[in-house]
Structure 1
Amino acid sequence: MTFEKNENSPIYAGQEVGGPRYTLEELKEHAEPLFSVKEEVLAGAFFGEQDKLFTVAEAHTKIEQFMKAKVD
């Protein structure tokens, strides 16, 4: 599996409708080059969703929401 982070790609413009889906483990392996975060951030963002598959765009959105979440 090869990933490229490209700020001009449709993934980051929110235009990816479908595309390949990956396990959480696969995304964790490439967390830093894809999302500029450590594996632990993905673990937190996807807590309780370990058995699902995600596109890179979906993962990116979930990580952004997790990072912006208000902590009480």
Structure 2
Amino acid sequence: MVFKKAIKTTTEPRYELTELKAHAQELFEVKEEVLAGAFYGEAEERFTVSEARSKIEQFMKAKVD
């Protein structure tokens, strides 16, 4: 039995993280620093706007010890 790895398919354009940071306020209503924190240590370099929004929301909800 052969298993195929799930492939992400989307029609949304992917943007470099630097582009998303430059427009963080307009797109996500957060400062660049928040976006940088949400993507700290991320291996990928290109994201859709919805992926970025989701990561930012998770970052903002995370508990701080």
Q: What interval of TM-score do these two structures reach, taking the shorter chain for normalisation? A: 0.7 to 0.9
Q: TM-score scaled to structure 2, two decimals?
A: 0.79
Q: Aligned-pair RMSD on alpha carbons?
A: 1.3
| Deviations, residues 8-54 of structure 1 (Å, cap 9, x unaligned) | xxxxxxxxx43100111000010001000000000000001265210
5+ residue gaps, structure 2, are 1-9
Query: Aligned pairs, how many?
Result: 56
Aligned counterpart for 2:51 among listed residues 53, 58, 65: 58
Aligned counterpart for 1:21 among listed residues 14, 17, 23: 14
Runs of 4+ in 1 over 2 A off after TM superposition: none
Helix, strand or coil at the partner of 1:57: helix
2:41: which partner in 1? 48
Report the identity percentage. Answer: 70
5+ residue gaps, structure 1, are 1-16
